[in-house]
Every structure is written in structure tokens, then in C-alpha cells.
A and B are shown apart, each in its own frame.
Chain A
């Protein structure tokens, strides 16, 4: 089953006081299967947060269809199985972590909430501050508390907007491990993060949103692989000049060479290198990082 389904999803914010209307989403088609970890990336203002809010029923789409765990986002029933962490997080400053988690548990109608609350407090390292007022929390503590609220009740779908924002590197590792455990129990993860390295580590599928449209979408590995760039290694006797003449370029990082071209041109270049005395040791398609993928998608020259 699809955890998230969007078809032709559009949202235009009407301009108030004479301002021009702003098109935040321009027909987004996106499906996220249950049990996957999906990362939505894109430049600022691409519409990522609007998309998240549209699938959660926080904004009303101007056109198109959004489905959440097979149901209407406006229906409370599918939302009972969703855990949401927004980008901006505020808590009642006068309440402590336990009181806030109890409130969430009440609204989620959890049975045996105290056990679940204790578990999440321990998991997210909030035990020492659980009795302090939320108004005294640092950004990192608020983020941990937000995660605890989202994770409460073992939701089927986790929608997390910048989940590691404000966390130190060690805490980020903890959160990644936590998310991996959630994935392992069968939850679906929908991640919205500017930290591409985090997204790469956690997600298996990526969607790139640019200007309110999905420009690329697919498995992370597939997107990172280049169809026309090759990584090549020759033995130590290879001469640089004949290799350059054959069309190989020194690799940007580390040893080795790269070749840009389709397989027929590659084969011809390899033949010329072999004739010059270079012996092929290793050949593979070059894998790009997500930053490069994003740059390509947006059309920014590298």
C-alpha cells in the first residue's frame, strides 16, 4: 500500500492586500510506498514544506489529490498513525516534557501511555530534563522532545522536517539509529532535510522538488550513478600523456582516471590506452553524491 500518494497536487497562496498569488506547488505527482525511507530535497522555496503540510491536511490544496495511508488527510483516522515533526517547534513554556508527552498521548488515545512516555524519554536522552519547564530547554532538547512526541505510539508513518536540526553530531548518530530501528519495525519514513549527508545516510529513495514540481525521483543509488562517467584505474606503468590523449582525465579525488562518454567511446579509449602500454585494473560507473545530483537537477553548474 502507498503511505503517501499525491497526484497533480497544486497549491497557490492567494495574495493579500494586492500581492501577487504565489504558486507553491504546481502539480506534484509522488508515491511513497509503505516501509520505505523517502527523502524530499530541493532548494529553498521549492515547496517542500507546503507539500508536507498538504499531505497532512494542514493546508488545503488548490488542485489535485493527496492521500495519507490510504485515507483523506482531513480524516483524523489516518492521522492517528502518523508522527509529525515540524521544522519550527514550540512547546507551552510552562509545562515540562512529561506533561507535554502526556498531552500528546491523550490526544493520540494511547493505551498505557506512561510506559511509552518513559521509553521515549530514555531513548531521546530527556531523562534529566523531563521535570523541567520546556521554556528552559535548549534548541537541541526541544528537538529531542519533538521527536519523542512524533515517535509516541509507534506511528506507521513518520513525517520529519529537519529532524536533526540543532543536535550535536553524536546526537545525530543516535537519531539516525533510532530512525533505523523504526524502519526495521516496518514504519515508513518521509524526511525533509537540508542536510543532504543525513538524507543520504537514512533514505533509500529520493525526490527532488524544484519550483513546485518533482524533477527527479527514484532510488538513491540509481540517482547517484552517472550513466556517462566512468572511473578507471590503470596499473602503475601507465603514462599520463597517452592516457590524456586517449580522452581520460585525472580523477578529482584520489588516484585513477575518469572518462566521460558512452560505452563505444569508452571501449575505443581503452583500446588506445592498452596500445600505449597501460593495463586496465578497475572500471566502474562513477557514483555522485546527493549534492551533485541536486545541482544537476536544479541546473546549477558544478
Chain B
């Protein structure tokens, strides 16, 4: 029998070669790593724990506890060491209070973009000017800033502040405090208070006075509004639900009203080291109403995402894709993330002097 050419084997060899070629084309360049989920600030992280410990620099005395019957009453109370900044913060739960970790923000991508944008818009370096005029370098000397409706509180290396240049009367307050009352107004609408070269409070006179009093220890130590365990994130704060009502207008006004009714306390935390991720923890006296509010907010976010997609607002749709409501004991958390790529796109529109502001 004549040997037959084994065509199927030849075909197999050829096909394997073609397959290898096609499969190599399918691989192409290595796919980029899947984008990491934004880092939502939900609790104190290791670095923040160490930061909290490092900030406990002010020894304070506890209010004397009732002495037991057998005690002689001679032993002094041991001093506690506290963070003076947290001690200085207002304690009215009915008013908003937001703290920015300026030092951390300066090193975040958001901070970098912000500084670059400001310098481009102004066409000069306003931070250097502030250092020359006021003696404070905003980018180096300020560690934290607290915002309230009544004033702001700065914490940092503030001993070089040129406060004597302001025409004012200087009054002492407590052991380490000073109050600068401007001569231009009587009665003054705002004053400036300093404490040990670490804290500057600027705002209404009673705001400044009460701030220095809390540091002096001359007010009873009742519950602070932002305890240490809530100082996580590059920005954090506590606002009453009513404070957010004004943000909801038009069709969303009813939602704003529900927030005001149901949420007596909203804790805010923002992580901005890369993506901007915000966690808002809602709590209220009526658990059922709070839970309903969470459902309504989740629905509003989903609906907003659909509307944004339909209207072609891709940035907003992308923002809301990361939004969710997480239910928990006693309330819920609203999580919202802004990918850094979106932030960079917003700031890419930041141009020279006189240009419109960057943003969505």
C-alpha cells in the first residue's frame, strides 16, 4: 500500500501555529490593574491613632469628683493630658463644626491641585504674601482649622503671627490667653484671641472668649463635640441635620426637610489623600424615621445617577456610582466618593488670572 500523506497532522501543526498567533494578539499589552475602591474613612486608622496620641500635650484637671467618706481629701487629682485643640472647640450640638487637617490636606493630591490652582489664578504666590504680612505661612504653620458659624479656630505654629500690627486693645484672658479687640469698632463685631502661640481664634467676641475659657479650664468639662476617636480623615465634623437643609432646593427641598427632622446629628469624615471619599453618619432620636431617611437618600442618589446619565453629565454619574447608604445600628452612613481623575479634570480648567473657577 502506498503511504498516504497524513494531511490531518499537517493541518493540525499549521492550525496550532495560527492559534498561537491569534491568542498572542488577544493578549496585547497587560491590562491595567483594576481600579482600587476609594478608601472611605470609617474609623481611626493606625497613623491617625498615633497622631491622636502625639497631640495630647495639655495637662488638664478633672473636675473634682465627690470624695469618698474615708478619704482624707489631701491627695491631688492626677493630671490628664488632652489635645488642646479639641478642648478649645465649641460644644453646642445645635451648631455646625467642621475641622480641616490643613497639614495633611496640603500633602494630599486635592491639596496639591488646590494650591496650584490658587497660584495660577492669582498669578502670584498669595501664601508667601500672607507669610510676609501676617507672619504665618498658611502652607507650613497651620496644622488644623476649625470652622463654625461664629468663627474659626487655627492651631499650629502661630507664635510668629504679627498681631501687634493690628490696631487694637490687648486684654488678658486666663493664664495664657490674649484677646485683641480692634479699635475700629465699638462694640466690636469680631475679636481675635491667641493662646500660647498655638491657637488663634477669630470671630464673635463671646466665641473668642469662650474658646479661651475652655483652654484655661475655667469651664466645666462637659462632653466635647468631637472626641478623639472621631478625629479621622483629612476633614471631619459634626453638623445638625437642620444645617444641611439649605443645600436641598427645588425638587429636593422635601428631602432636606426630612433630614432636618430626622437627623439630629450628622458626623462627617472625608479622606482626600487620593480619591475624595466622604462618609456622613446620620443618627436621630427616632430610629424608624432615620432608617426611612436612609432609604430615601439612597433612592435619591440612585435617581440622581440615572438623571445625570440621561442628561449626559458623566462626571456626576460617575460620582454617584460610588454613592451608597450603609445601614448600621442607630442610624446609617452615607458614603460618597469622588475619583481623583474627576477631581483632576475639575482642576484642569483652572487657568490664569480672571478665569472662571474650576469645578463641575
Contact = CB atoms under 8 A, between A and B. Distances in A.
Interface size on A, as a range, is: under 10
Interface residues of B, number: 1
Contacts of A62: 1
Contacts of B1: 60-63
Interface in B1-16: 1
A233 B256 CA distance: 131
Contacts of A61: 1
B8 to A, nearest CB: 15
Interface string B1-36: 100000000000000000000000000000000000
Interface residue SS majority, chain A? loop
Interface in A136-154: none
A242 B1 CA distance: 65
Nearest to B4: A60
Contacts of A60: 1
Interface string A25-64: 0000000000000000000000000000000000011110
A66 to B, nearest CB: 11
A62 B1 CA distance: 7
B4 to A, nearest CB: 10
Nearest to B1: A63
Interface in A50-100: 60-63
A60 B3 CA distance: 12
A232 B1 CA distance: 54
Nearest to A63: B1
B241 to A, nearest CB: 69
A147 to B, nearest CB: 34
A60 B1 CA distance: 10
Interface in A169-189: none
Interface in A109-145: none
Contacts of A63: 1
A61 B1 CA distance: 8
Nearest to A60: B1
A63 B1 CA distance: 6
Nearest to A64: B1
Interface string B148-165: 000000000000000000
A298 B1 CA distance: 31
A184 B1 CA distance: 38
Top 4 A-B pairs, shortest CB-CB distance = A63-B1, A61-B1, A62-B1, A60-B1
4 contacts: A60-B1, A61-B1, A62-B1, A63-B1
